[in-house]
Chain A
Amino acid sequence: LAKTTQPISMDSYEGQEVNITCSHNNIATNDYITWYQQFPSQGPRFIIQGYKTKVTNEVASLFIPADRKSSTLSLPRVSLSDTAVYYCLVGGDRDDKIIFGKGTRLHILP
């Protein structure tokens, strides 16, 4: 499984756009990039997944450069309820389990 590196914590303010970058230098050709969100006292929740370029859904956007060695999760106009831990994961169909890193603790301030 490719190792990922992401900031330990970030602070932002309500209404701002938040970008969390994840490095995965050893990503394999058939690996996907997946982001999960975990609120306090809850289990992780899938946010978005991509392979290359850009993916957008109702929650977030995921930007992946051509070399795929990093990715950026973009949360538009955050609110207090976006305060959570965000995990970047890299893996493919050959991986039989998800391995979590430490994640990024995002704290949204009023």
Chain B
Amino acid sequence: NAGVMQNPRHLVRRRGQEARLRCSPMKGHSHVYWYRQLPEEGLKFMVYLQKENIIDESGMPKERFSAEFPKEGPSILRIQQVVRGDSAAYFCASSPYLGQGVAEGYTFGSGTRLTVV
């Protein structure tokens, strides 16, 4: 039973390019969450999605960032026209349930480290 798969593990982009980060949730998990972690900082919630629906995007920057979780395939976090400040680790988590009260319900991937040069 594979865990949450994120790819690529490392991504280097020049300023102004687009970055696409992929997340395949655990089998049977229908809830996907994206978090961003700046160096030496905690994890910041970005967006919560279910299949074909964005449920909560309160943590997403208003511009250049978008996320989707299509009916088929992985969830995608897309960053357009990247800037140096976008350099961070981006983590994806999946859960089979709604609600933090469920023990061990959230499983995180190993992250994608984005470096903007």
Question: Which residues of A approach B to under 8 Å, CB–CB?
Answer: 30-32, 34, 38, 41-46, 49, 85, 87, 89, 91-103
Contacts and interface: CB of A to CB of B under 8 A. Distances in A.
Given A43-B108, A43-B109, A45-B108, A34 B100 contact: yes
B101 A93 contact: yes
B108 A44 contact: yes
Of the listed residues B41, B98, B101, the one surrounded by the most CB atoms of chain A closer than 10 A to its CB is B101
A99 B113 CA distance: 21
Nearest to A46: B104
B33 interface: yes
Nearest to B99: A93
Interface stretch (B13-21, B42-50, B70-78, B79-87): B42-50
A99 B99 CA distance: 12
Contacts of A85: 42
Interface of B: 4, 33, 35, 41-45, 48, 55-56, 89, 91, 93, 98-104, 106-111, 113
Contact of A93 (B48, B100, B106): B100
Contacts of A32: 100-101, 103
A99 B45 contact: yes
B93 A96 contact: no
Given A43-B111, A87-B42, A103-B42, A98 B33 contact: yes
A78 to B, nearest CB: 22
Contact of B56 (A38, A43, A94, A96): A96
Contact of A49 (B89, B103, B107, B113): B103
A49 B102 CA distance: 9
18 contacts: A30-B101, A31-B101, A44-B43, A44-B91, A44-B93, A45-B108, A46-B104, A46-B106, A49-B104, A87-B43, A92-B100, A94-B99, A95-B99, A96-B56, A97-B56, A98-B45, A98-B93, A100-B44
